Structure 1
């Protein structure tokens, strides 16, 4: 994504703006945080803009590291702030101020082998429940098509990433993994039921190696025709429908992510360009960000490499372009997911800080380390087939220990 942006920056933006030169630096996540912290704390102005997500927006805006973009965006007649997908905008905002201009947005959806379900006379609902999906996974597990015997699902099972599908599942069951005082609540109902259901699903219907699988491995299993269903990022459709990368292009169906007690079972993530408060070139930086996150930029990508390669989930007007909708079979489901997740009736799970937000992270300064410690027992159970209940109990103990270490909860 950033590689493509860098190419167009040099060939298009800098030619049209000869007074601005953009220098890219790609860093690992941990090093990025360290460098940015040092930069803003000393007001050095080493960096002007960074690519970050909703987690960083939530934490970094509190630290005063990010420049609010609302006024610049509103004053920029070419930007069209109101064209941003509402859900994307909400997750890149804090205290009703926009801190990130989206370059990409995704939710979750159910992707399934429609050729297989059609052959079995099964109609998959557009908005399935988790009860229906759990049953369907077991019904499809071991079925054969195109000379291959399929697993019922391909999912993320590796520690850390396992929470990406699991946390929205907990949320739509009506549960939570953390209380408002940061106390771990994995053994509370209905959280425990959601955890047991997910671990058991992977044990019984997951692809080979599911315990070491993240997004990339799950995508490979689906695109190679080895699995019948996958619940993951809406952006995966672009790869799955590309015949040069997928053996199942044209054979898939799409539905909303399964739900339970709430009407929205998905999650959300976005990448965005933000201006650091220490930047000494905010006007020029905004000029670049405005261009890089505009509808015109999306059209530039489409003209060059096709509508199916356009970064999704940023602008409402993209989903009104017939060529894009035709090239993206899950465009309708993606937009419905965005709309459903930001609807008024979903406000109970759309709070700006943890817990309770339908995403796969919490506004916790040591979230990623906490996540790894908490989910390791769940991954171990997926790997060896041991008790999901016992795994949840071990995860609760690990979460309590990690939260105490963080200093946010004392038990």
Structure 2
């Protein structure tokens, strides 16, 4: 049942979307390194707690601050938390944070709302940055409706399948060059329990539009489903969407990791690193951590393209990028940090300090031409680049779409919709309700959004 009978103007939609993003935050207080705001020779950076970001935090003082005199105050939070905090600060233009990690989902929307500082003027004056070296899909995904750049990528990624070569070999199994999801499910069943405490596969079950819904939506796409058809009709009750979700839920319940409803990227990375799962479908950026010098599974991992059913490819396109708040009082110094953190120079620093497999790659053509990187990241670097360059954000499925996005729908309301739907599906993974019940509720949620867009 639809709860609204008339369409609101576009400005109201944006305000409503911002309101839904901010609602969880209004009842509590947030504290972090940002303090009372930046100024002088200090900037505040709010970022996600992914391994590459934590490495950046460790290297900043001894290198960036030592070179420029600019102190960087970091606030580092888990993915769901950081998204909420960024949306609060940027939507209100509070100016507490000069720079934040934003994705190619948020940046076009934030730019449209006037929350971001354009970067073209800085790029034009920064001869050492080499913007043309940034891979075209990354540049395009961080460009606003006005054709201006509003973000610079820290790293880029697609998605692929990671698997233990030694475990499959011991079982007499071979991973197909281009696996289907059914083939992956069959292998998961055969390697489940191959070693003590090892499950067949890790798939995200943690609620969040950028957690569970990211890999699951790529499965929906290749199974022939879509969130909305070209006329903005909600399609979560379609046979294709239902088949994809049931497949995913059944696979993770039967052969997936322990505690799946609480497992996101970080938990699956830990499970794969510690030998608790034989396979993992997730972000290509995970490979650097798996192949790091101290990783127990370095050299044991094989990589295959994102599994498919009805499409030729199914990998997502994603970048954690730097966005500069329009209200920042220190935008020049903020750009200095962004320029350094996304530069060739920084990649070389990581390669020297932590090993080339840890480089935040997926954003620059020169990375893949670097012999040091190619040597150390040989197991995954070419497949990562191919996955990024073959991603199709405007045409990811079998039918036309009304908005861009592979693992998301590029509208402001998706953060709230995707998170609510993910909560329903995570409950199905936990066994608290059926997939049919989860999708019935989810379809109603999607219909409320569809009504706002129908006829456009």
> Which structure 1 residue ranges, 5 or more long, are not aligned?
none
Aligned to 1:368: 415
Residue 186 of structure 1: how far off its partner (Å): 0.8
Give 2:304's aligned residue: 255
Partner of 2:352: 303
**Who is 1:83 aligned against?**
133
- Asked whether the 8 Å contact 2:306–2:313 carries over to 1, the reply is yes
Q: Closer, same or farther in 2 for the Cα pair 1:218/1:12, shift >3 Å?
A: closer
In 2, are the aligned partners of 1:176 and 1:185 still within 8 Å (CA)? yes
Does the 8 Å CA contact 2:93/2:115 hold for their aligned counterparts?
Answer: no
Q: Is residue 378 of structure 1 aligned with residue 429 of structure 2?
A: no
TM-score by length of 2: 0.77
Q: How far apart are the structure 2 equivalents of 1:55 and 1:272?
A: 10
Describe the shift of the 1:158–1:49 C-alpha distance in structure 2 as closer, same or farther (beyond 3 A). Answer: closer
More deviation in 102-111 or 24-33? 24-33
Cα pair 1:110 1:231 within 8 Å, conserved: yes
The number of residue pairs the alignment matches comes to 394
Please state how far the C-alpha of 1:4 moved relative to its aligned partner. 3.8
CA contact (8 A) 2:394 2:404 kept: no
Secondary structure of 1:303 counterpart: helix
Match of 2:206 among 153, 158, 179: 158
3-state SS of 2:93 partner: helix
Q: Within 2, Cα distance between the matches of 1:341 and 1:150?
A: 32
* 8 Å CA contact retained: 1:318, 1:324: yes
Match of 2:286 among 218, 236, 243: 236
- In structure 2, relative to structure 1, the CA distance for the partners of 1:39 and 1:387 (3 Å cut) is closer
Partner Cα separation in structure 2 for residue 15 and residue 224 of structure 1: 36
Q: What TM-score results when the alignment is normalised by the length of structure 1?
A: 0.85
CA distance in 2, matches of 1:53, 1:283: 22
Distance 2:258 2:56 in 1: 36
Which of 190, 212, 234 is matched with 2:240 structurally? Answer: 190
1:267-320: per-residue Cα shift (whole Å, max 9, x none)? 132221223333455444434322221101110121222212221212111112
Change (3 A) 1:117 1:22: closer
Aligned pair partner of 1:396 in 443, 446, 454 = 443
Residues 409 and 371 from structure 1, CA distance in 2 versus in 1: closer, same or farther, beyond 3 angstroms?
farther
Equivalent pair of 2:102/2:320 in contact (CA under 8 Å): yes
The correspondence for 2:101, drawn from 51, 61, 69, is 51
Instruction: After superposition, give the CA deviation of every residue in 1:73-120 in whole Å (9 maximum; x if it has no partner).
Output: 245321211211222222222234321111122221101111122233
| Equivalent residue for 1:277, pick from 320, 326, 343 | 326
RMSD over aligned Cα, in angstroms?
3.0
Check the 8 A contact 1:155/1:207 in 2, yes or no.
Answer: yes
Residue number in structure 2 paired with 1:115:
166
1:131 aligns with 2:182: yes
SS of residue paired to 1:151: coil
